């Protein structure tokens, strides 16, 4: 091998342009409409390395919605602090892990349910869900989430929660969910943080973004995609972590 390998691989002329924020193809990027929400409870998304679905995945898009959010790709981390890259007390964090539990069975009508170590609903839900510093969402298929759960023993120190969504995922027939209470990562993050912070508009905002992404997907699939952007990799206009604008009406 010679030493004159370019430091950057030249773009493949056949590959579609990709957004630098959401890493989606240009025709599926909806970052333009995303304004980071000033969240009190932090979000940490742990993504299984095999889940990186650039077409229909929503983990990165979910994280882009919050000023306090982190996304990590991997299988295991020694501790919550290592995963976050800063000090953190796992007892003040919740982790969303459905497992075999179903909110509809354990606490009918509740959208967020805190479980004990045996998977039963805690008697005092309000106390269990108060004073949380952050929430962890596992991004991947059913078996990938299970792998993340079992490979990170420190997750057992966190408050396990499950969701009881009032309606099924917007994925609909685009991507079949294994259970009626399975949501996309962006829907789950919105519902969880919206409920925990008492701000239903958070869930509405993330749901609206997800709907725009699905609309773009359907339009692209139908061959009605927007004209390609001139740059192969681009940053969407008008958004950035430092900007503060009122959330778009939904
Ligand atoms: Zn984007």
User: Can you spell out the DSSP letters for 13-40?
Assistant: TTSPPEETTT--BGGG--GGG---B--S
* pLDDT in the model for residue 231: 46
Ion ligand 1: residues, Cβ under 5 Å? 19, 21-22, 29, 31
Task: Decide if 38 contacts 132 (C-beta within 8 A).
Answer: no
Q: H/E element holding 195? A: helix 185-197
Which residues are CB-neighbours of 214 under 8 A, at least 6 positions away? 170, 171, 172, 174
Quick one: which of 157, 115, 104, 166 has its CA closest to 134?
Answer: 157
Q: Return the SS3 of 114.
A: strand
**Per-residue tens of pLDDT for the chain, all 250 residues:** 444 444 444 455 555 688 999 999 999 999 998 999 999 999 999 999 997 777 889 999 999 999 999 999 999 999 999 999 999 999 999 999 987 778 888 888 899 999 998 999 999 999 999 999 999 999 988 889 999 999 999 999 999 999 998 887 887 666 665 555 678 999 999 999 999 999 999 999 999 999 999 999 999 888 754 555 544 555 555 444 433 334 443 3
pTM of the model: 0.82
CA of 224 to the centre of ligand 1 (A): 19
How far is residue 238's CA from residue 223's CA, in Å, rounded to a whole number?
27
* pLDDT in the model for residue 91: 97
In 92-172, where does DSSP find H-type helix? 103-106, 125-128, 142-151
Q: Taking the domains of the chain in order of start, what are their residue ranges?
A: 42-202
Q: Within a 13 Å sphere around the CA of 149, how many CA atoms are in the beta-carbon half?
A: 19
CA of 118 to the centre of ligand 1 (A): 40
CA of 100 to the centre of ligand 1 (A): 34
* pLDDT in the model for residue 179: 58
CA of 64 to the centre of ligand 1 (A): 9
CA of 32 to the centre of ligand 1 (A): 7
């Amino acid at each position: 091998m010679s030493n004159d390998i370019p430091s950057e691989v030249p773009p493949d002329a056949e590959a579609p342009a990709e957004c630098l924020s959401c890493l989606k193809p240009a025709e599926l990027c909806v970052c333009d409409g995303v304004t980071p929400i000033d969240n009190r409870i932090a979000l940490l998304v742990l993504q299984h390395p095999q889940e990186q679905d650039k077409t229909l995945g929503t983990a990165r898009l979910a994280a882009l919605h919050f000023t306090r959010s982190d996304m990590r790709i991997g299988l295991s981390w020694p501790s919550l602090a290592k995963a976050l890259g800063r000090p953190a007390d796992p007892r003040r964090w919740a982790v969303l892990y459905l497992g075999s539990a179903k909110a509809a069975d354990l606490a009918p009508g509740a959208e967020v349910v805190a479980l004990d170590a045996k998977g039963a609903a805690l008697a005092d839900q309000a106390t269990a869900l108060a004073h949380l510093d952050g929430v962890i969402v596992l991004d991947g298929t059913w078996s990938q989430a299970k792998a993340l759960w079992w490979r990170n023993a420190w997750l057992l120190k966190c408050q396990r929660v499950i969701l009881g969504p009032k309606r099924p995922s917007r994925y609909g027939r685009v991507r079949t969910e294994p259970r009626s209470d399975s949501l996309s990562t962006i829907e789950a993050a919105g519902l969880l943080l919206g409920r925990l912070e008492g701000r239903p508009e958070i869930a509405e905002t993330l749901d609206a973004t997800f709907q725009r992404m699905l609309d773009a997907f359907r339009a692209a699939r139908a061959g009605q995609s927007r004209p390609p952007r001139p740059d192969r990799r681009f940053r969407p206009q008008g958004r950035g972590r430092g900007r503060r604008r009122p959330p778009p009406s939904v």
